[in-house]
Amino acid sequence: MDRTVLITGATGTVSTALINALRGSGLTIRALVRDESKALPDGESTPSSAILADDIATRSAFRLKHGGGRLGMIDVRDIAEFAAVVLTAGPHTHHGRTYTPTGPESLSFAEVAAVFSAVLGRQVHYLPTGDAEIEARLLGVGVPVWIVGMLTEYARAYASGWGDFTTSDFRDVTGYEPRGLAGFIRDHADAFSSRERSPVV
Ligand SMILES: NC(=O)c1ccc[n+]([C@@H]2O[C@H](COP(=O)([O-])OP(=O)(O)OC[C@H]3O[C@@H](n4cnc5c(N)ncnc54)[C@H](OP(=O)(O)O)[C@@H]3O)[C@@H](O)[C@H]2O)c1
């Protein structure tokens, strides 16, 4: 059957990965963007993830306002592959279903730092911080005020345990296991490799 999928926010991180995952699927892809000059996704990271990667590369530390909250975080490539499986299945296979795909384990950011340390072979530190500092940095690199506010709300929710769970949805739908954090770090090692500026802590 000839089917068309409309991908909104097509310049974004998740949508870029989804467009890549759908290549060769036989589906016709329509990409909706608000700025035509960005019409071809370039896969660049968002400002907030670029700040984290830069801090790990230059200071071997990252700052977040997630406190001791744990999170069943999922690799963006797995979000895309999950969506591609759903979209390429017959139109009725997933009709009316709601899924909550997660990564394989729920980790605190102290544990995330330990995984970074083990994979990169140097000590990486998680530095819990307050809202004002992070907000100022995000605003400084041009993140809109409303997104900074949304990220603050997310961080408070995660700090209170809102994201501390995993599900089997990814495996149930795709038939294989979601990627783990260590693999994510290995696959993006260039972004985190040491460009020492000044050690923190
Ligand atoms: N990535 C994650 O870990 C994660 C986790 C939880 C939830 N989410 C949610 O998943 C969604 C996608 O995330 P993402 O990481 O892919 O985001 P992203 O990289 O920031 O991409 C956002 C996309 O939305 C478009 N957009 C933003 N404001 C718009 C507006 N007012 N009108 C039209 N288009 C607009 C952007 O277009 P421009 O390129 O023109 O700016 C971009 O294409 C977001 O709702 C995010 O909150 C993501």
Q: How far is the CA of 143 from the centre of ligand 1 (A)?
A: 12
Predicted confidence at residue 148, as pLDDT, reads 94
Q: Across residues 2-8, what is the average pLDDT?
A: 92
Q: CA angle at residue 88 from 175 to 22, to 5 degrees?
A: 95
pTM (two decimals)? 0.89
Looking at the predicted structure, is the pLDDT value of residue 200 above 60? no
Q: List all residues whose CB is within 6 A of at least one atom of ligand 1.
A: 9-15, 34-35, 38, 46, 76
Whether 198 is covered by a domain: the verdict is no
Query: The CATH number of the domain where 176 resides is what?
Result: 3.40.50.720
Q: 43 pLDDT exceeds 60?
A: no
Distance (angstroms) between ligand 1 centre and the Cα of 137 equals 19
Considering only CA atoms, which residue is closest to atom 46 of ligand 1? Answer: 14
Task: Give first-to-last CA distance, the chain, whole Å.
Answer: 58
The atom number, within ligand 1, closest to the CA of 144 reads 28
Q: How far apart are CA 78 and CA 55, in angstroms?
A: 25
Task: Write down how long the chain is.
Answer: 201
Residue % of the chain over a pLDDT of 90? 78
Q: E-assigned strands of 61-195? A: 61-64, 70-71, 107-108, 125-128
User: CB-hemisphere CA count at 13 Å for 192?
Assistant: 25
> What is the mean pLDDT of the segment spanning 181-187?
96
Tell me what the mean pLDDT of segment 84-111 comes to. Answer: 95
Q: Which of 145, 110, 140, 115 is nearest to 127 (CA)?
A: 110
Range of the domain at 103: 4-35+45-192
Between the CA of 14 and the centroid of ligand 1 the distance, in Å, is 8
Q: Which residues pair with 5 in a beta bridge?
A: 29
Across the range 59-74, mean pLDDT stands at 95
Cβ contact 30:7 at 8 Å: yes
Task: Tell me if 10 is assigned to some domain.
Answer: yes
Residue 164 contacts residue 71 (beta carbons within 8 Å): yes
Domain count, the chain: 1
Residue 192 identity (one-letter amino acid) = F
More confident residue, 43 or 188: 188
Residue nearest ligand 1's atom 38 by CA: 11
Residue 73 inside a domain? The answer is: yes
Cα separation of 139 and 142, whole Å? 5
In a domain, 86, yes or no: yes
- For position 41, what pLDDT does the model report? 54
